[in-house]
Amino acid sequence: MNPTKPSEKSSRRAIALFSGGLDSTLAIWLVKRQGVEVIALNVDIGFGSTKSKLEHMQSMCDQVGVELRTLDIRDQYLREILFNPKYGYGKNFNPCIDCHGNMFRIARELMEPWEADFLISGEVVGQRPMSQRRDALDLVTNLSDTSDILLRPLSAKVLPPTLPEREGWVDREQLLGITGRNREVQLKLAEEIGLKDFEKPGGGCLLTDENFSKKLAEFVKYDTLEVEDIALLKCGRHLRLPGGAKLVIGRHKEDNEMIDAAITPKYEKIRLLDATGPVAAISAGAGEADRELAAKLTATYGKTSPEQSYTVQVGERTYTVTPYPTKAECQQYFINS
C-alpha cells in the first residue's frame, strides 16, 4: 500500500516497534490517543533475558489498549546481523544500529500486509550511547529505508516533521521533544496516565551484558552459533576444558531446569548418581579426559565431600571421581575468569 494514498480504513494505522519498555509504551500511547490504531510489534532476536517478558509486554499493551504481535527472527538475525554488522558493535556484543535498522526494515515490509500507514518507535534522541545518538537515528532510518514514515513520538519535536505529521494523521504539537538520558518526563507521563508495573522484568537485551557477551565471543571461537545454542548460553557456569569441550554447570534449581531443557544433540547431560548436585551439560563427543574432568568438576559443585568418591553419569557412561578440595581449583576452567 502506498502510505500517501487515502486509506479505506476508518482511521490511520501504525506499527509500533515494541520492546516492552516504558519508552515504546509511551510512544504508542502518544499516537493512540490521537485516534490512530496501533499494532505493537515485538521482534524476537533471541537474546531477551527472561521468560516473564511476554507476560510483561502483554500487560503494557493491555494498559494502553493495543494489540501485541510477536515475530521470531532469531534465525535471520544470527545469519545476517549479529556477526556482520555494518556499523559495528556497542560496548559489548550489541550491534544496535544494525539491529534497529533490521527491525525497522522488517516492520516496513509488514506495512502492506498489515495495512499500516506508518511506523513508530520509542527511540529518544541522545538517550543511549550507541543507537540513539542523532546521527545513529539517521543511520537506522537509512538502513531500513524508513525515511519519512518512521515517527519517533518521544523526540518528534526535535526531529524534522515526518509524513504522518505533515499529512495531519498525527498532530505534531501533541508529541514530545525529549532528548538525553534523563527519564524525568517519561516517568511523569507514566504517572499521569496511570501506567503500572512498567519496569521491564529481569533487565534488557543480553547482548549488552558484559558477561554474556564474553560467553558468546568465546563460544563462536569453537562453534557456529545456532538458534538452539542460545538457551544454554543464558544459564549456568560456563567452562572450557583442556581438550576443547564446553561444560555448563547449573548454579541453582532454575539453572538446572533450564540446562535440562536446553540440552540439544550437541550436548550430553551430566548428573551425580549418588549425591545431590547440579545438572550439567558437556559437548557431545568430548574426549575421555574432558569427560572425566567434567564429572569431577560437576561433583565439586554438588553436596559432596572431597574425602569421598562419587559416581557421575556423563551421557551414557559413568565415572567414579573425587571432588576437588575447594571450588577455587575449578576457576582455571571458567570462561569468565
Residues that bind ligand SF4 (CB under 6 A): 45, 94-96, 99-100, 131, 205, 207-208
* Integer-rounded Cα radius of gyration of the chain: 24
Grid-cell match 538446572, residue found: 256
Q: How far, in Å, CA of 124 to CA of 157, rounded?
A: 11
Task: Describe the crossing of helices 22-32 and 53-64 by its angle, rounded to 10 degrees.
Answer: 20
Smallest distance from the beta carbon of 216 to ligand SF4, in angstroms? 12
Task: Provide the 3-class DSSP secondary structure of residue 301.
Answer: coil
Tell the smallest beta-carbon distance from residue 48 to ligand SF4 (Å). Answer: 8
Q: Which is nearer to ligand SF4, 163 or 220 (CB)?
A: 220
Q: In what order do the strands lie in the sheet with 37-44?
A: 67-72, 37-44, 13-17, 118-120, 150-151
Q: What one-character DSSP code corresponds to residue 165?
A: H
Instruction: Name beta bridge partners: 151.
Output: 120
Q: Which is nearer to ligand SF4, 36 or 97 (CB)?
A: 97
Q: Give the nearest distance from C-beta 321 to ligand SF4 in angstroms.
A: 40
Q: Which CB sits closer to ligand SF4, 68 or 321? A: 68
- Kind of pairing, strands 13-17 and 37-44? parallel
Which residue number, 73 or 335, has a Cβ lying nearer to ligand SF4? 73
**Could you give phi then psi for residue 69, rounded to 5 degrees?**
-125, 140
Strand partners, 44: 72
Q: Which is nearer to ligand SF4, 127 or 300 (CB)?
A: 127
Residue 262 CB neighbour total at 10 angstroms? 19
In the complex, minimum distance from the CB of residue 47 to ligand SF4, in angstroms, rounded to a whole number? 6
Contact criterion met (CB below 8 Å) for 278 and 251: yes
